[in-house]
Amino acid sequence: MHADESMAEAVREVMRDQYEVMVANEAGSRAGDDIEHVHDMRVAVRRIRTAFRLFGTYFQPKAIRQHTKDLRATGRALGQVRDLDVFNREAMRYLNGLPKRRRHDLDPLINHWHSQRETARLALIDYLDGPRYLRLIDKFGGFVTTPGAGVQPLDEDQPVRWRVRDVLSSTVWQLYETIISYHRLLSNAPATTLHVLRIDCKYLRYALEFFTPCLGPETPQLIRHVIAVQDHLGDIQDAEVAWAILSDFRRHGGASHPDFTEADLAHIAAYLEFRVAEQRDLIQTIDKTWPCIDSICFRTQLSRCLLAL
């Protein structure tokens, strides 16, 4: 990849790399022995979808419409499994912080999640064996390996921003400006707003990662700063999702579930209180992580990286 390359072909290269990651993790996602395969496959799908969202205008809409729909469905199938992996991981983190005698407090809940995860994994396998995913592998695989496929035609009589160097600098700055516009909202922002901010951070991070070969040597450091904020926001969102699921379980399933005693429900309530308090602390401390990206130092480094274009 280089700065004089067309945006369409540079983006195709990015998507081809992620397509290969997606395919490489399919067998492991089916097997279910290592949760990182589902994670890596889902991230690859997210990166491709982000590439289409940020740079899809360089392709003809009819050429990419079906790909974007199939990618969304694939991400949803993977997400059903991955979400349960995250819930389990966070529950284990909570339990490991308890006295030894209490480390089995959530066993019935974790067993319930394991059962749900296996159901989700089998549904994922059905999806991966189905026509939509097979079409994605075939048609999208052809798209990312065929230079020129689906590219918007250029108007030869008009100035057109079509090279990486023509486009990327303003795109990155717009993504960054969107992020720092949240500054005045941070102190009172609800979790839903912070979740949108996290997604905006993801767009900036991926744009920098996609085009690192064209940017200055400080780019990896900038990416680490964005990841620090994104991870903090991700912890807030994980706590929000856990709260919603645990609350719903207590209201509609837990009390009548034959495998859950009153003591089990009390332990789940204690875990719920822990996640609520943890989320509150994370929201109150976001201002400590925020300067990682909202600073003169970050903007100076970003400027230097973009000057390489």
Average pLDDT, integer, range 48-59? 97
Inter-CA distances, 7 with 1, 11, 178, Å: 10, 6, 22
- Cα-based torsion angle of the residue sequence 176, 180, 181, 186 in order, rounded to the nearest 10 degrees: 140
Nearest one of 13, 5, 15, 20 to 52, comparing CA atoms? 15
For all residues of the chain together, what is the average pLDDT?
92
Q: What is the pLDDT of residue 126?
A: 97
Q: What is the pLDDT of residue 11?
A: 98
* Residue 163: strand pairing partners: 6
Q: What's the CA angle centered on 283, arms 275 and 83, to 5 degrees?
A: 50
Q: What is the pLDDT of residue 161?
A: 82
Q: What is the pLDDT of residue 261?
A: 82
pLDDT at 174 over 90: yes
Q: What is the pLDDT of residue 56?
A: 95
Confidence bin at 113 (pLDDT 50/70/90): confident
Nearest one of 1, 2, 4, 15 to 146, comparing CA atoms? 15
Q: What is the pLDDT of residue 189?
A: 87
Looking at the domain covering 163-309, what would its CATH class be?
A: mainly alpha
Confidence bin at 258 (pLDDT 50/70/90): low
Q: What is the pLDDT of residue 179?
A: 97
Q: What's the CA angle centered on 179, arms 174 and 182, to 5 degrees?
A: 130
Confidence bin at 257 (pLDDT 50/70/90): low
pLDDT at 308 over 90: yes
Looking at the domain covering 1-151, what would its CATH class be?
A: mainly alpha
**How far is it, in rounded angstroms, from Cα 31 to Cα 78?**
13
Q: What is the pTM of this model?
A: 0.92
219-252 and 296-307 are packed helices; what angle lies between their axes, rounded to 10 degrees?
A: 120
Half-sphere exposure at residue 68, Cβ-oriented, CA atoms within 13 angstroms: 16
Average pLDDT, integer, range 23-46? 95
**How far is it, in rounded angstroms, from Cα 10 to Cα 16?**
10
Q: Which residues make up the CATH 1.40.20.10 domain(s) of the chain?
A: 1-151, 163-309
